[in-house]
Each structure stands twice: as structure tokens, then as C-alpha cells.
Amino acid sequence: MTLRTSLIFLFLCFPIQPLFAFEIDGDSISRDDGSLITYYLDKSQTVEGGVLLAIIHGSDCNSVTKIVSIQNGLRKSWPKSDLLTIEKYGLDRGLPYVSDGDRPDCPKEYLLNDTPEQRANDVVSVLGHLKQHHKYKHIVLLGGSEGGLVSNLVASRVNYLSASISFNGGGRWFLDDVIHNIRTQKQSSASTEEDVEGFKQFAEQIVSGEPFDLDMSNHGYAWWHNALSIDQESVVLKIDSPLLLIQSRLDKSVSPSHAADMANNLKSHGKSNVAYREYESLDHGLNDVFGESQMSLVVKDIEAWLKGVLK
């Protein structure tokens, strides 16, 4: 089986060119394997009892400190909160920002260990650590792209979140999102279906076969196996806290139709805690048809939703 890996993009990435890096110092706690989870807590509140906003970024091989959309955009969904961000396994702020989804200097530790499940474990560990030292009235998660999936995984495992928001995180199965991405990138229907079939064979090998060395789109075998195995609908069914799911209809990275199907299925299961909102004219990066960012519009809507939830 062969697959043209140039067709495989960062489906759950949220690519935005950075303008600056975070200036706050990082802290760390240990994982079970002895490695360190580095996190950044940007405190804006002078007294205890406020809101902790944890923002979880997408799937690219870049330090969270280099993602400008967090400070310049997403944080404004609750401006007076303390902001928590967490580095991925093997990454640190010394890694230069690269917009290319297939950078050659992506650390080996990251390729071997980074997965959505592992990231969710890190978030749970850091939140548990912070809860011991800070008395927050509300803890809110906000994740985009792969970060949206990670946010849902965390929300399904803990009972102390006040709310969570997941945007452009795809539908029930990652395979459907990849196939959507391939079909929206290709012009020839014949070669498109060839590539779709090739990826289906690759996915079957990943899910059912033996592990093997892999570096595709800056992700290793563990990441691909985990991403292709997660049933996101089943994950969300376990969430009891308020959840806002957002999907851009012009998204070429994940499937808007499968995201809508998942939302409808959740509604049929009686998940009254889940709100679903679509944006007809926005893409995966929350840009409009003219390429102009409309993140501020989405962030204002998120803030309005949170005001109705955080009492």
C-alpha cells in the first residue's frame, strides 16, 4: 500500500502566524514516566475566586507560547480570567515557530509520545495541581481543532468544570475528517478516490496492525493510532457540564457535515447540556471568504454564551 503523504495535512491544526511569544515564566509538574509537563499560568486576577480559562491549541509541532491567537483572540472570550496554557510532550518555548505542517526539526520525544489522550492526561494533571493551590470559582476549557477534541476528552473525565467550548474539532470519527480533507484538496475525482482508498488502507493498518516507525505530518504512530480510534460522540455523551460545540461550514480540514451529524445524534440522546452553533461563511481558521479573520466575532459569541452559564 502506498500513500502520497503530501496530501495529508494537519487536519486538526489551527495555523496562525505568531507576532510575539508569551513572556510569562513556566512551571512544571512530573508525569508518571518522570518527564515534565510545562505549563504557563498568566494571572490577571488580584484576588482568588475568579475564573481559570484553559486554552488548548491545535495539533502542530509548535510551542504553545508561539500561538498568537491565544493571547490576541481566544483569551478575550473571558478577558478577566487567569489564563492557563500547557506545552505538548517534548516541546518548549525554545523551539522556533514554523508554519509548515511537516517541519524536519520536530523533536523525537514529541513524535513518540504526543497523542490527544496523552494531552488530555496532561491537562487533567495540571488542573488537579492548580486546584490544590488556587481557589477558582469557575474553570473553563476552550479548545480549537485538535484542542477541541482534547477539551472534550478532559470534560468527559472530570466533574469540576463550569463549562467547555470546542470549535472545529471534527465529527465522530477522525477518518471521516481526513477523507473530507483529501476530497476538498483535490481537483481530479479519479485521483481523489485513489487517495481516499489509500488512506483507508493506511488507517486500517494503523488501527489493526502492529506498531511501526512513522512520521507523517509531524505525527508519529501513537498519535495516528489514537486519533483514528477515538469515538468523539461517545466522549461527548459522557460530558455533563455545559458544552458549546462550534463548527465552521467552510471548513476544509474537518467535515462540517459529520460534525452536524454528531450534534444531531447528541440531541437525540437528550444531551441538553450541549449547545451547537454553526458559522456558514467561515473556514477552519475562522476566516471569511475574503480571507479576513472573524475570530473576534466568534469570541464575542463565546463570551455571550459563557455569561449565560457562569453564574
DSSP 26-83: PEEEE-TTS-EEEEEEE---SSSSSEEEEEE--SSSS-GGG-HHHHHTGGGGSTTSEE
pLDDT at 3 (0 to 100) = 42
Would you say residue 46 has pLDDT above 70?
Answer: no
Closest CA to 298 of 271, 277, 275, 274: 277
C-alpha span between 4 and 53 (Å, rounded): 39
The CATH number of residue 303's host domain is 3.40.50.1820
Q: Quick one: pLDDT at residue 22?
A: 53
pLDDT at 101: 74
**Model confidence over 292-304: pLDDT tens digits?**
999 999 999 999 9
Residues 6+ apart with CB under 8 A from 141: 54, 56, 123, 151, 154, 155, 161, 163, 164, 165
Residue 73 has pLDDT above 70, yes or no: yes
- Residue 166's domain comprises 5-309
> What average pLDDT does the chain have?
91
- Tell me the pTM: 0.93
pLDDT, residue 24, reads 76
pLDDT at 25: 79
The pLDDT score that the predictor gives to residue 311 is: 81
Residue 263 has pLDDT above 50, yes or no: yes
Is the pLDDT score of 16 beyond 60? Answer: no
Give percent of the chain with pLDDT exceeding 70. 90
Q: Which of the four pLDDT bands, split at 50, 70 and 90, describes residue 206?
A: very high
> pLDDT at position 23, please?
63
Is residue 180 scored above 70 in pLDDT? yes
Higher pLDDT, 149 or 13: 149
Task: Calculate mean pLDDT across residues 193-222.
Answer: 95
pLDDT tens-digit readout, 22-35: 567 799 999 999 99
Query: Over 90: is that where the pLDDT of 163 sits?
Result: yes
- Averaged over 229-241, what is the pLDDT? 98
Per-residue pLDDT, 61: 96
User: What's the total number of domains in the chain?
Assistant: 1
CB 37 within 8 A of CB 106: no
User: pLDDT, tens digit, for every residue of 92-145?
Assistant: 999 999 987 789 999 999 999 999 999 999 999 999 999 998 999 999 999 999
**What confidence score (pLDDT) does residue 144 get?**
97
Counting every residue, how long is the chain?
311
More confident residue, 282 or 48: 282
> pLDDT at residue 1 above 70?
no
pLDDT average, residue stretch 50-79:
95
